[in-house]
Structure 1
């Protein structure tokens, strides 16, 4: 089911003129759901889904430890793709809620800052 929501997120990002560079980028220390290029930024995007907001919205699921992991993995992405660490980067979250046929999508640009 998770890959369906990631595909939905990619379709949404493309409709917003973002360019998908990589899906499910994995290294030993973790994974980034989507790497995209948008408005001059390399965007490292976490996709979160919740059927309802009973325990908070999907964006609430990107806690501090997950943020640190994404930041760490983003450094590997830049290094392995020979991209300077000086390029503008952004850490975003795509929050999807609701049922499959009636999903609501929110794109939180700059959802969090770089963390060590």
Structure 2
């Protein structure tokens, strides 16, 4: 049975969600979509909203996962985050943009990966 990119991404996001929950992050949304695109995970840690991009690789043969979060992707996530904040009236929260890179079973969480 062939596994497509979406299924592989879902495996990585499932791993990231469990990892985040185990560290006290409340998951608000998964695969949040608007006209600008999609944010993998939106969570809350105390008074901070987290907009989290997840990149998963089975191994390093296709490069380090977080290298795939370039300038254009960061700009897209920022636009989506502004839309989410306005749509949901989250005006009194701090915000942070994080990335989670997963290679196999190893998870790296970069807090404040970009602004």
User: TM-score normalised to the size of structure 2?
Assistant: 0.88
1:20-31, aligned counterparts within 5 Å? Answer: 20-31=27-38
| Superposed CA offset, 1:46-75 (max 9, x none) | 000122223431111100000000000000
How many residues end up aligned between the 2 structures?
108
Q: Which residue of 2 aligns with 1:91?
A: 97
Q: What's the RMSD between the two structures over aligned residues? A: 1.2
Once the two structures are superposed, the pairs formed by residues 55-74 of structure 1 within 5 Å of their partners are 55-74=62-81
Q: Distance in 1 between matches of 2:23 and 2:64?
A: 22
Distance in 2 of aligned mates of 1:92 and 1:39 = 15
Q: Which runs of 5+ in 2 are unaligned?
A: 1-7
**1:16-71: CA deviation from partner (whole Å, max 9, x where unpaired):** 11110100110011110000011421000000012222343111110000000000
The worse-fitting range, judged by mean Cα deviation, of 19-28 and 50-59 is: 50-59
More helix by share: 2
Deviates more, 1:7-16 or 1:31-40: 31-40
Is 2:103 the partner of 1:111? no
Q: Distance in 2 between matches of 1:81 and 1:14?
A: 22
Are 2:3 and 1:2 equivalent residues in the alignment? no
Structure 1: stretches of 5+ with no match in the other structure? none
**3-state secondary structure, aligned to 2:109:** strand
